[in-house]
Each structure stands twice: as structure tokens, then as C-alpha cells.
């Protein structure tokens, strides 16, 4: 009996000090991605669900292009990321995440409008919200650009204050004067 071949995927990570705190970038080997690594997660402080695992390899070199683009973004000189992603959501989540990719820099949209773009019936807007909340690529897939129909800042996996900071950085919100 021949045993099936198993493919071992190497997961690597690095961290990046950003204006929003330390970001954790996680990726998997990919022959088509710049630096040989496709991003699978980008998380921020206080975000639940992603922690460095003992078997992951720290490898800042593999994330050099992602870190470069994030630096340029935070400097106000980049409005669209050009990076290789590899996510493992359900078909529904992936559809919602692709709709997030279409929200232009410096703008916001509502959950209802995003549901229309993603082809999600209005009765399933809670499922849409759950899919947005499960977005593994914060900042890169701009779930921070989705707001309530009344203009309120709804939840954000890394905290509403970071959502407001990102929207202000992108010019979608005016800075608050104190």
C-alpha cells in the first residue's frame, strides 16, 4: 500500500510597528508571491484569534514587500495594496471579502450597500457582518471602510478607535479637534 504524500506548508511571521501598534503578519509559502510568502493574516493588538504558534518561523525577509507597502500606506502615499493573499474562508466569507476589496480608499460604504455588491440578501446582513468580522487581513482587506447606515462606527476586530484612526488617515473622516 502506498501512503499518500503529505505536503508540509511552512508558516512564517513577522511583526511591524505601525501607528496603530504592533501588527502581526502571518503567511505561507507560495511560489507566486513576492518574497515567496502569501499573507494569510494581518492582525492588530487586542484582536482575538491570532497568536504566534511555536511551530511558526520568524522570517522578516519574506514579508519585506508587505512591510514596505504598509510603511508607504501609513506615510499617506499608497492607496491600494498589491500583495499575494491566501485566505481559507467559506465560500460566503470569500465572496464578502472580495466585495471589501472593491471599496475605494478614502470612502466608506454601509453594510446594506456591501450586501448588495456581494449579492447577499438583506435578511442575511447579520451573516455579512459576521463574515466582515472574520476578515483575516485587517487594513489590507478594508473592512474598516464599512459603517452603519446612520454613519455610526460599528464594531471592528481591533477596536473602533483603530477603525476611526484608519478612516481619518484615509480622509474618509475629519480629524477630531480637542
Active-site amino acid positions: 143
Q: Which residues pair with 64 in a beta bridge?
A: none
C-alpha cell at 40: 494569510
CB neighbours of residue 54 within 10 Å: 4
Reduced to 3 states (helix: H, G, I; strand: E, B; else coil), residue 43 is: strand
Euclidean distance between CA atoms 14 and 137, whole angstroms? 14
Q: Which residues pair with 146 in a beta bridge?
A: 109
Contact 24, 52 (CB under 8 A): yes
Could you tell me how many residues make up the chain? Answer: 178
For 21, phi and psi rounded to 5 degrees?
A: 110, -175
Amino acid at each position: 500500500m502506498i501512503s499518500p504524500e503529505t505536503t508540509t506548508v511552512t508558516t512564517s511571521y513577522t511583526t511591524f510597528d505601525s501607528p496603530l501598534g504592533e501588527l502581526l503578519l502571518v503567511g505561507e509559502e507560495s511560489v507566486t508571491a513576492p518574497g515567496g510568502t502569501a499573507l494569510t493574516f494581518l492582525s492588530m493588538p487586542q484582536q482575538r484569534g491570532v497568536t504566534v504558534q511555536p511551530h511558526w518561523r520568524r522570517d522578516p525577509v519574506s514579508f519585506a514587500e508587505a512591510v514596505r507597502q504598509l510603511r508607504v500606506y501609513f506615510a499617506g502615499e499608497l492607496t491600494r495594496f498589491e500583495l499575494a493573499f491566501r485566505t481559507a474562508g467559506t465560500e460566503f466569507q470569500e465572496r464578502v471579502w472580495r466585495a471589501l476589496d472593491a471599496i475605494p480608499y478614502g470612502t466608506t460604504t454601509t453594510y446594506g450597500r456591501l450586501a448588495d455588491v456581494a449579492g447577499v440578501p438583506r435578511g442575511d446582513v447579520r451573516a455579512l457582518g459576521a463574515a466582515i468580522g472574520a476578515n483575516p487581513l485587517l487594513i489590507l482587506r478594508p473592512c474598516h471602510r464599512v459603517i452603519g447606515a446612520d454613519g455610526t462606527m460599528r464594531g471592528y476586530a481591533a477596536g473602533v478607535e483603530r477603525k476611526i484612526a484608519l478612516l481619518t488617515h484615509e480622509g474618509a473622516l475629519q480629524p477630531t479637534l480637542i
